[in-house]
Structure 1
Amino acid sequence: MTSERNPTRRTLADGRQIFYFDDAGRTRDHTARDTRELPTLDHSSRMRYDVLTGEWITVASHRMTRTHLPSTAECPLCPTNETRTPTEIPDADYDVAVFENRFPSFASSPQDGAPGTGDGPGDRPALGHCEVMCFSSDHTASVAELPLERMRTIVGAWISRTEELSADPVVEQVFCFENRGEEIGVTLTHPHGQIYAYPYVTPRTRSMLTQADKHFERTGRSLLADVLASEREDGTRLIYDGDHWSAYVPIAARWPIEIHLAPHRDIPDLPSLNDEEREELAVVYQDLLRRVDRFYPGIDRVPYIAAWHQAPVRIDRPLSRLHLQLFSILRAPGKLKYLAGSESAMGAWVNDAIPEAVAARLRELK
């Protein structure tokens, strides 16, 4: 039996690693070999520095050729068996599988002769990691409806991969997330998420760190902890208030449906969770996904992004605080929230949904 600390590790035909995480009480051998003949991996991604914003932009042209909405019979995330072409998962069945992306935005080693204008501060190889995390071997499954034991395995896999990727000296931040729905831009419909290990601290995190630092200098307290305490006391936007976690619609929500889920303790990342927090997380995470799926009558699966905000690996960890941002771009049945001129060009957000009304609706959906 594997565990979050010791998953089964195997190697795919082109040298990429795959990690199998088994549900508690299950024993699998994971001995199937990857028999495919695969081309050499493209590690030519570059990072360009935007001096106007102070942000890094990754250029990864090889991703233009990545697999796009294949048929169920050709899904590369389904298990391999005698009736289908070999996939990214050599085994005939699995619980949770994580593997290095075949079309990564960031690569663990640069490609020799990678194109670019130089290796100066404004242009350098995009070093890091991009992994795909398959939540189930069932092509039609939804994370919200998986058995609780599987959700525990998923939490354990997030923790395990965060720990290992954070140990890489080039990694500055680890981001675990799930995109669900073609409206979001998903190119594979099989239930899966991704893990990015960035070689820099992302713009969103830097903005939050700036605000957290100002708040600490003024009050001596954690900004995100004070936000959570305020939401729990006010209650009008609160959705869930448990022993170790609370969920609420943020007062300045940007998206038509947006939920923040935060632990009651001040902790920086997923590996810092204790056993009780991990257990409650497995329950409340699926509960929130089910509420989102029922938000609009007549729609069974609402498109969403579930994004874990973790502290940077090396800097400002005391200012950071673990939380989940779960949101949907669906503003009404058949209508999407587009990032139009104000949002895309100016970064000035306009939300059509009232956060208190969204919270009230989510509370109804127990």
Structure 2
Amino acid sequence: MEKFNFTEHSHRRFNPLNGEWILVSPHRTKRPWQGKVENLNEERRPEYDPKCYLCPGNERSGGQKNPDYADTFVFQNDFSALVPDVPNGEFSDGELFYAKSEQGFCKVICFSPRHDLTIPEMDVTNIKKVIDLWQNEYRELGKLDFVNYVQIFENKGDIMGCSNPHPHGQVWSQNSIPGEPAKEQERQKAYYQKHGRTMLGDYVKRELELKERILVENDYFVALVPFWATWPFEAMILPKKEVANLIQLSDEDKKAFADCYKKLTVMYDNLFETSFPYSAGVHQAPTDGEEHPEWHLHMHFYPPLLRSATVKKFMVGYEMMANPQRDITAEQSAERLRSLPAEHYKTK
């Protein structure tokens, strides 16, 4: 009987961070996709757009005017999903109907005053300024009594819900720990209680030994395709040392983080020679006043492109009704991304 080989045969992979499984079907693609060549008429944006509500000096959609900022800029979202002045309250009707009020803040972070840049086109020094701002927002929002979690994220590309092409991200903070970090909280805590070490600290060490899924590595950080990756070219950025939150990062750490952030996103853009869409977010320890030695800071990247600049992969059918499934393996994705040039395709 043929011997099982997970690079050839269908199998399930376990995600230790959330306790869920993914079905992998590598026999459907015996080798990494070469990608469809498309001549896209990619929009060339100006450095400054007088109609953009995020550009320096412009009026935002809520009527406020942006300062003439030169680096990064943060402001309270004019149409926040969470607001701080919500009265405490709840609704309960037996075991099946329950709701509770939720306070919070939603902020927008402009990465650069330039309208025409994205993270892979910015230099490492300026990307570090974005991480500096993340660090400050986590610190200041986390001091508020009613804020127990701070979620930092970036949506890049209109297919990922980005409503403005100006380079920006968001920071949402709230009473409760949201669903995805809550799953990771539970799993990481159980691992730490059992081993006395962080789950992702052990994971990073083993990935660095194997070298199969590593994309970028420097002295302090690593970018890799996780063994349990769900999206076609999913990736993570993690510190090599056990760091629970952004506050614990030194200047050198933040430079290394920025270096990985840039190099990974350049890989993405070069894959299909397009501004590669993704949703990315930082997961870190809650700000609930408790010690969280189990937490290991990390950043997820979920890009939807599958075969080309226009062929997307979304969770549908079996994936929505059963569990996630993918054809191209994590190892194939990593090999494909590693093979790309380091120079951004626009600079050719």
Give the TM-score band, short-chain normalised.
0.7 to 0.9
Q: Which residue of 2 aligns with 1:180?
A: 156
Letter aligned with residue 57 of structure 2? T
Q: Which residue of 2 aligns with 1:12?
A: none
Q: Which residue of 2 aligns with 1:330?
A: 305
1:262-282 CA-partner distances (Å, limit 9, x unpaired): 111111111110122112122
The answer to whether structure 1 residue 276 and structure 2 residue 252 are counterparts is yes
The number of equivalent residue pairs is 287
Q: Which residue of 1 aligns with 2:327?
A: 352
Q: Which residue of 1 aligns with 2:281?
A: 307
**SS state at 2:299 partner:** strand
Per-residue deviation, 1:97: 0.6
Aligned counterpart in structure 1 of residue 170 of structure 2, from 164, 178, 194: 194
Aligned counterpart in structure 2 of residue 157 of structure 1, from 117, 133, 147: 133
Per-residue deviation, 1:158: 0.6
Runs of 5+ consecutive residues of structure 2 not aligned to the other structure: 1-48, 93-97, 343-348
The answer to whether structure 1 residue 119 and structure 2 residue 119 are counterparts is no
Per-residue deviation, 1:356: 0.5
C-alpha spacing 1:85/1:101, structure 2 compared with 1 (3 Å): closer
Cα separation, 2, equivalents of 1:159 and 1:215 = 26
**SS state at 2:150 partner:** strand
Moved more, 313-322 or 96-105: 313-322
Moved more, 213-222 or 136-145: 213-222
Q: Which residue of 1 aligns with 2:55?
A: 78
1:29-63 CA-partner distances (Å, limit 9, x unpaired): xxxxxxxxxxxxxxxxxxxxxxxxxxxxxxxxxxx
Q: Which residue of 2 aligns with 1:267?
A: 243
Q: Which residue of 1 aligns with 2:345?
A: none
Cα separation, 1, equivalents of 2:125 and 2:217 = 22
C-alpha spacing 1:217/1:163, structure 2 compared with 1 (3 Å): closer
Cα separation, 2, equivalents of 1:89 and 1:249 = 41
Cα separation, 1, equivalents of 2:180 and 2:255 = 28
Alpha carbon RMSD of aligned pairs, Å?
A: 2.4
Note if contact 2:62-2:78 (Cα within 8 Å) is conserved in structure 1: no
Per-residue deviation, 1:153: 1.3
Note if contact 1:105-1:126 (Cα within 8 Å) is conserved in structure 2: no
Q: Which runs of 4+ in 1 moved over 6 A?
A: 84-87
Per-residue deviation, 1:178: 0.8
Per-residue deviation, 1:126: 2.4
Runs of 5+ consecutive residues of structure 1 not aligned to the other structure: 1-71
Identity %: 28
TM-score using structure 1 length: 0.73
Q: Which residue of 1 aligns with 2:319?
A: 343
C-alpha spacing 1:86/1:258, structure 2 compared with 1 (3 Å): closer
The answer to whether structure 1 residue 289 and structure 2 residue 265 are counterparts is yes
Per-residue deviation, 1:343: 3.0
Note if contact 1:78-1:89 (Cα within 8 Å) is conserved in structure 2: no
**Bigger relative contact order, structure 1 or 2 (CA pairs below 8 A, ≥6 apart):** 2
Map 1:85-164 → 2, pairs under 5 A: 88-110=64-86, 119-120=90-91, 122-164=98-140
Q: Which residue of 2 aligns with 1:60?
A: none
Letter aligned with residue 55 of structure 2? C
C-alpha spacing 1:95/1:136, structure 2 compared with 1 (3 Å): same
Note if contact 1:80-1:91 (Cα within 8 Å) is conserved in structure 2: yes
Note if contact 1:291-1:362 (Cα within 8 Å) is conserved in structure 2: yes
Cα separation, 2, equivalents of 1:302 and 1:280 = 22
Per-residue deviation, 1:86: 9.5
Per-residue deviation, 1:241: 2.2
